Amino acid sequence: MVIPGETDALGLAVGLVNTWDELEDPPEIIRDVPQIARWLRLHVEPGLDEIAERLTTADLHRLKTVRGELRRAFEAESEAEAVEILNAVLRQTKAVPQLSAEAGRWEYSVPSRHASDAIAALSAMGVLDAIRSGSWQRFGVCRGDPCRCVYVDRSKNRSRTYCCQACADRLNAAAYRRRKAVRR
């Protein structure tokens, strides 16, 4: 799942975590290589097309493991705990940060040929960069039970509580039906 406007490395991390979606049947969205390759191509981060071409079935299991680690970071009790989890993901990928003079940003060289390691490093760095810039309080888990998707609140008033408008609409409609039934 890619949310419009969230096609950066942080959006990649959010999208990866949300590849387990309780509202889908089945909830597992990481099913096959072509599906994940299409999902990667929706992001504008440099190099994702090349990474999508390298995906193998072995990467699918690793992506599910990384998804779990990223979820743990989003659900962490503290910023320090999230940073510890994300740094562990980076250590596993052996990512080496390098400043790109052309792009004016950090890029991460991953020695592994596994596409999943490159995705893991990029996702972890996206979340770590958001934490570094003071966005830890903007991380959330959807309140639209049974949905457990994560989000980053990019609104000006920091009031987001749902992963998407569909969850907000679903819960508002249910609340309306409950209020209407009580009045009868």
- Topology of 9-183 in CATH? Jann2411-like fold (1.10.3300)
pLDDT for 47 beyond 80 = no
Token readout for 87 is: 């740094």
Contacts of 37 (CB under 8 A, 6+ apart): 52, 53, 55
Q: pTM of the prediction?
A: 0.85
Determine contact, residues 127/13, Cβ cutoff 8 Å.
yes
Contacts of 14 (CB under 8 A, 6+ apart): 3, 6, 150, 151, 152
pLDDT for 106 beyond 60 = yes
Convert the pLDDT of each residue in 138-163 to its tens digit.
Answer: 999 999 889 999 999 988 888 889 99
Task: Please state the domain extents for the chain.
Answer: 9-183
Alpha-carbon gap, residue 120 to 90, rounded angstroms:
7
Indicate the pLDDT class of residue 89, thresholds 50, 70 and 90.
Answer: very high
Determine contact, residues 48/121, Cβ cutoff 8 Å.
no
In a 3-state reduction of DSSP, which class is residue 159? Answer: coil
Sign of CA dihedral 166, 141, 88, 126: positive
Indicate the pLDDT class of residue 2, thresholds 50, 70 and 90.
Answer: very low
- In 3D, which of 73, 89, 10 has the Cα closest to residue 44? 10
